[in-house]
Structure 1
Amino acid sequence: MKRLAVAATGAALLSSVVLSGCAAFTDDSASSADGVEVAAAFYPLQYVAGRVAGEHAKVENLTTPGNEPHDLELSPKETADVARADLVLYQRGFQPAVDDAVDQSATGDTLDVADVVDLVPFRDHGVDSDELDPHFWQDPLLLADVGDAVAEQLEEVDPDNADDYAANAADLRADLKQLDQEYADGLTGCERTTVVVSHDAFGYLQRYGVTMAAILGLSPDSEPTPADLARLQELIHDDGVTTVFSESLVSPETAEQLADDTGVKSAVLDPIEGLTDETSDEDYLSLMHANLSALEEANGC
């Protein structure tokens, strides 16, 4: 996974940004007296926080819709969101800018989801890297674990509404268990199991019996070598692959070119790292269902 260097701003500048952001918030926005404030680092965490918090909290997504979360650099407003939040929900190591803001600015509770779920190395997904795969939300049951942890954290922040948080987390887990079963049933007995995707964001789906082969490796904007493309062309031919999947938030050009070169279809498999203009009316569950339908069609399930 790409590790972007975050430009140092200096302690004085950061303090100024945080203080000015907090001052503006106090004057013009709802304060903690009006409800709990949650800052979520990227969309799947925002989805979980919103489901668990319900009407009792305002949830801000630090990654603007349409932007790649890997590339995030926080604005002064987003840094102020971290500073004033009652709870910051993030994944250490996934977005260095958020890690820095949490370390330097957070004044409320923080929850690192990497402490909640057991991330596995890319090597376990067949990729030559010992780096941990951060895309755990492709496994609905792991996302349910995050929901339970968010409920526990919110119960500490806002004990008056503890029963609602626990009930909302239970409802979320029920939905995610059903989704997990749908994937297990839907991807059983397929004509083929190989799935060619844009980059290594879908490894956690392999527990449903599919095998992911990525064009771009760990980084969504890296470039494949001629040897990579030749290997994939051979794999597509040998395994009878019908579809090459591009994804939202990054250019589909490389995936579409590979599909064209091999005479197969091109389609979208959404890594659900963030929403776009086209998916603004969707949510995690609907996008996961769309992905399942695409995989079933591509693999003859």
Structure 2
Amino acid sequence: MNVRRLIPTAATAGAVTLGLLALSACSSSDTAGGKGDGRLAVTASFYPMQFLVQQIGGDHVSVTTLTKPGTEPHDLELSPRETARLSQADVVLYLKGIAPAVDDAIGQSGARQIVDATSLTTMERHGTEAGHGHEGDDDHGDEESAGGNDPHIWLDPVKYAEVAKGVGAALEKADPDHAATYRTNTGTLVGKLGALDTAFEQGLAHTTTRTFITTHAAFGYLAERYGLEQEAIAGVDPEAEPSPARVKELGTIARQDKVSTVFFETLASDRTAKTIAGDTGLRTDVLDPLEGITAKSKGSDYLQVMKANLAALRNALGAK
């Protein structure tokens, strides 16, 4: 038994076992942890964090995610049972700013090692638009970014690679016996993300337009990285309703910038996107913010869905 991993709590003092720490590998927080198999127990807040842990930790980690498949993570709240389980993890990995209720629960959990992904890269503020200067943009940016920095760093492969390095270092610290494996796996993943970055850079280098319209202002980092212009129907909150003035403005932008497509996503309603597309004579397509993987996702993991996003952007922007 590895005494290093025992984390007594008030509820388990005098009766803590390694089985309480080894949360079972699953994609839902409904499964009770505790297999006693010696793996590092990691709790990830939602899919982009889960993917990093699985890729870097491999067989040496047991991953539990707080966000069930198909659940929109922005409004996630934890049950008392789920909150209590956080204290049993060896490592908790989350991204501050996605779900305030989860942020609070993790901060009060008493988990041995808590890793906030926002501390592993440089954060920025994005609003309904990114990377350009249509009239009125400053007002939109101030309104939509009032809550703080844009949390959607995983949609920029370069920033996501920076986070991956930090996660790898955290796993090495938590489980030094397998540090060499974590280091190797981190290098492999960073290489894959580098190749993805190259694919986006080359694939979007020459397009008819640089502007895309999307339901959810999740793609500010991606737009800035590749010189694109994101125009979002709503703000960072995917369920927010646009004002009539914003809808009118989007129609003007679509005409001026030769926009062909209004993008929607898999975990939020497509009603507003389809309404605007119908009113402006535009097509619709999916641009997935990758907050979760479902049966509707265009791929089974982050890399596959990001490649599908690239294909959708190339088609919508008239890539040559």
Listed as ranges, the gaps of 5+ residues in structure 1 are: 1-14
- Is 1:69 aligned to residue 51 of structure 2? no
- Retained in 2: the 8 A contact 1:199–1:215? yes
Corresponding position: 1:226 with 2:244: yes
- Residue aligning to 1:53: 57
Aligned to 1:199: 216
Provide the TM-score with structure 2 as the length reference.
0.83
Q: What is residue 10 of structure 1 aligned with on the other side? A: none
- Give deviations 1:67-93, integer Å, cap 9, x for gaps: 111010112443243111100001223
**Partners of 1:47 and 1:226 in 2: CA distance:** 38
Structure 1 residue corresponding to 2:258, chosen from 237, 240, 247: 240
Choose 103-112 or 208-217, whichever is displaced more: 103-112
- State, as a whole percentage, how many aligned pairs show the same letter: 41
Write the letter of the residue equivalent to 1:178: A
Which has the larger helix fraction? 1
- Partners of 1:209 and 1:144 lie apart in 2 by 19
- In 2, distance between residues paired with 1:81 and 1:141? 32
1:278 aligns with 2:272: no
Deviation at 1:240, TM superposition (A): 1.2
Counterpart of 2:179 (choices 162, 186, 189) is: 162
Give a deviation string over 1:39-98, Cα, whole Å, max 9, x none: 001110100011000000011111111111101011244324311110000122322222
1:6 corresponds to which residue? none
CA distance 1:281–1:231, shift in 2 (3 Å): closer
Kept in 2, the 8 Å contact 1:92–1:112? The answer is: yes
Aligned length: 285
CA deviations over 1:195-234 (Å, ceiling 9, x no partner): 0000210001122011000101232111111111111111
- Secondary structure in 1 aligned to 2:108? helix
Runs of 4+ in 1 over 4 A off after TM superposition: none
Residues 1-301 of structure 1 aligned to structure 2 (within 5 Å): 26=20, 29-31=33-35, 34-122=38-126, 125=130, 127-128=141-142, 129-130=145-146, 131-206=148-223, 207-279=225-297, 282-301=300-319
The structure, 1 or 2, with the larger RCO (C-alpha pairs under 8 Å, 6+ apart) is 1
Distance 1:46 1:105 in 2: 19
TM-score by length of 1: 0.88
Q: Separation in 2 of the partners of 1:283 and 1:33?
A: 26
